[in-house]
A and B are shown apart, each in its own frame.
Chain A
Amino acid sequence: MELFTYERAHNPEAAVIAGAPSRAKFLGGGTNLVDLMREGIERPSALVDVTGLSQTIVETAEGGLLIGAAASNAAVAEHRLVRNRYPALSRAILAGASAQIRNMATVGGNILQRTRCRYFYDVNGARCNKRDPGQGCDAIGGFNRYHAVLGTSSHCIATHPSDMCIPLVAFDAIVHLAANGGSRSIKLAELHRDPGDTPQIETALDPGELITAIELPPLALARRSAYRKVRDRASYAFALISVAAALHVDDNRVTDVRLALGGVAHKPWRALIAERALVGQPATYDTFLAAARAELRAAQTQRDNAFKPELAARTIAAVLRTLAEEQA
């Protein structure tokens, strides 16, 4: 690991000043960054520890929730208001990593964690456009069971590995940002990007921009929400695919629905095609499956992940069926 300086930020203003130099990085729980530094993939010259910034989880005036970026993943999952009002968020966090990692990981760090593509990690043995732009991508044609099928490019087929972000995009979460020049807010759905021909650029954040909080808008629908994760072992594994869903059924028809997918794209994937296809339709397994397949129609599969579109479609349909049955 290369030498770096370490300092703690006591407020967002101090954090963005300390984080402004081009090779400075914010440090959350360190569960991703410290690992990547050890591998030589990240080489910051300065770490600005932001775990001392806001960890509070409070109700907003509109009846949503404001969650400080330094709140631990465990604290969010366990919070009474999250469990009651946004259960899919609790479920998604609890389906990820381990108890120890959830205690360490912060909300800000979870959103900005990097891909687990094994070629990205293999500094000396593999070509990777994300790590070294222009090198090529050894995942294409290589081991790509865990790779993306939606929004991919010929430059990169990596996935964003977060579980937490999947219900957050389904619920239209907003990310509050601060920088030296001032603060702004963007939708989480607009934070991550498709790889295109610049997979090294993963987000819409400006250099040195700090996540200060995420905000969940009030959403009655989210009280009936669920998260299902399909993986190679029952615990402590990343998603092959995952689904966050919320559904409202009235008189056997879908009146409102939210859907997002994990494990399929370079970003948390909001399934807007399926959502639009479902509203007003009969709440049956067949319409659920047809809408889900419409979402996956654009999928481009690789050598090892041809199973993903159908697995994702059936998982969406199964989760929606369960949610519909609970309202019958």
Chain B
Amino acid sequence: MPIIINGHDVAAPADPRVSLLDLLRERLDLTGTKKGCNQGACGACTVLIDGQRKLSCLSLAVQCDGHDITTIEAISEVDSLHPLQAAFIETDGFQCGYCTPGQIMSGIALRGEMQRGAPSHVTPRLEDVPEASNEEIRERMSGNICRCGANNGIIEAISSYVRGTL
């Protein structure tokens, strides 16, 4: 079984030590996904695996055999923007841009999680459908670190995307 990356079949590497992140960046030239810490602490390497946000630095590429990977390169057509990308520009959601692909992949998955009613650490009551408050978005985005401190713009962009008020 191949790994399906952005709709294309890719053979799993023969060396099981290769991480999904290194497969993407070093072997497939999909360098939109960034390597920050390489140890699960920063979120720069976030991709969607079967629609869920996960860290490509801690995923072995061989584990992804048969699974569907979506990276930042595939969220919009050439010369067009995904609504969340447009929102980041609107709100100044970045400075150096290094964390941005991970933030955007994380934000896209976050919307799905909220729509299906998944609670977070700050959701007041576990039985309630969580509201897209800034506090909720901040907590849910805490796995994506921004060294430049563009957090306010990031939270604003994702909030408006989740609330559908773009």
Tell me the bound Cα distance from A77 to B130 in angstroms.
Answer: 14
Tell me the bound Cα distance from A87 to B128 in angstroms.
Answer: 13
B interface size (C-beta, 8 A):
35
Write the nearest CB–CB distance from A250 to chain B, whole angstroms: 24
Judge whether B126 and A51 touch: CB under 8 Å.
no
Closest residue of chain B to A72, judged by CB?
B52
Tell me the bound Cα distance from A97 to B41 in angstroms.
Answer: 9
Residues of B contacting A100 with CB < 8 Å? 43, 46, 53-55, 106, 143
Tell me the bound Cα distance from A74 to B109 in angstroms.
Answer: 13
User: Using an 8 Å CB-CB cutoff, how does the interface string of B90-132 with A read, 1 for contact, 0 for none?
Assistant: 0000000000000000100110010000111101001100000
Judge whether B58 and A34 touch: CB under 8 Å.
yes
User: Using an 8 Å CB-CB cutoff, how does the interface string of A171-194 with B read, 1 for contact, 0 for none?
Assistant: 000000000000000000000000
Tell me the bound Cα distance from A98 to B41 in angstroms.
Answer: 9
Judge whether B140 and A31 touch: CB under 8 Å.
no
User: Using an 8 Å CB-CB cutoff, how does the interface string of B1-30 with A read, 1 for contact, 0 for none?
Assistant: 000000000000001110100000000000
Closest residue of chain B to A5, judged by CB?
B16
Tell me the bound Cα distance from A169 to B144 in angstroms.
Answer: 31
- Residues of chain A from 69 to 108 with CB closer than 8 A to chain B in the complex: 74, 77-78, 83-84, 87, 90-91, 94-95, 97-101, 103-104
Judge whether B142 and A38 touch: CB under 8 Å.
no
Q: A1-B17, A101-B143 are in contact. Are A31 and B58 (CB under 8 A)?
A: yes
Tell me the bound Cα distance from A90 to B118 in angstroms.
Answer: 11
Residues of B contacting A87 with CB < 8 Å? 126
Q: A1-B17, A49-B63, A100-B53 are in contact. Are A94 and B106 (CB under 8 A)?
A: no
Choose from A1, A6, A94, A98 the contact partner of B119 (Cβ within 8 Å): A94
Tell me the bound Cα distance from A6 to B58 in angstroms.
Answer: 15
Whether, in the assembled complex, B139 has its beta carbon less than 8 Å from a beta carbon of chain A, the answer is yes
Whether, in the assembled complex, A3 has its beta carbon less than 8 Å from a beta carbon of chain B, the answer is yes
Whether, in the assembled complex, B38 has its beta carbon less than 8 Å from a beta carbon of chain A, the answer is yes
Write the nearest CB–CB distance from A159 to chain B, whole angstroms: 18
Tell me the bound Cα distance from A31 to B37 in angstroms.
Answer: 13
Judge whether B118 and A34 touch: CB under 8 Å.
no
Judge whether B126 and A83 touch: CB under 8 Å.
yes
Judge whether B121 and A235 touch: CB under 8 Å.
yes
Judge whether A99 and B59 touch: CB under 8 Å.
no
Judge whether A30 and B60 touch: CB under 8 Å.
yes
A interface size (C-beta, 8 A):
35
Judge whether B60 and A77 touch: CB under 8 Å.
no
Tell me the bound Cα distance from A87 to B126 in angstroms.
Answer: 8
Judge whether B55 and A31 touch: CB under 8 Å.
yes
Tell me the bound Cα distance from A91 to B127 in angstroms.
Answer: 12
Write the nearest CB–CB distance from A66 to chain B, whole angstroms: 21
User: Using an 8 Å CB-CB cutoff, how does the interface string of A309-328 with B read, 1 for contact, 0 for none?
Assistant: 00000000000000000000
Judge whether B110 and A30 touch: CB under 8 Å.
no
Judge whether A95 and B121 touch: CB under 8 Å.
yes
Residues of B contacting A97 with CB < 8 Å? 143
Write the nearest CB–CB distance from B161 to chain A, whole angstroms: 16
Closest residue of chain A to B145, judged by CB?
A236
Residues of B contacting A236 with CB < 8 Å? 142-143
Write the nearest CB–CB distance from A10 to chain B, whole angstroms: 12
User: Using an 8 Å CB-CB cutoff, how does the interface string of A96-128 with B read, 1 for contact, 0 for none?
Assistant: 011111011000000000000000000000000
Residues of B contacting A51 with CB < 8 Å? 63
Q: A6-B16, A30-B63, A90-B126 are in contact. Are A77 and B55 (CB under 8 A)?
A: no
| Chain A to chain B contacts (Cβ below 8 Å), 15 pairs | A5-B16, A27-B60, A29-B58, A30-B63, A34-B58, A38-B39, A74-B52, A74-B118, A91-B126, A97-B143, A98-B144, A99-B106, A100-B53, A100-B55, A100-B143
Interface residues of A (CB under 8 A from B): 1, 3-6, 27, 29-31, 34-35, 38, 47, 49, 51, 74, 77-78, 83-84, 87, 90-91, 94-95, 97-101, 103-104, 234-236
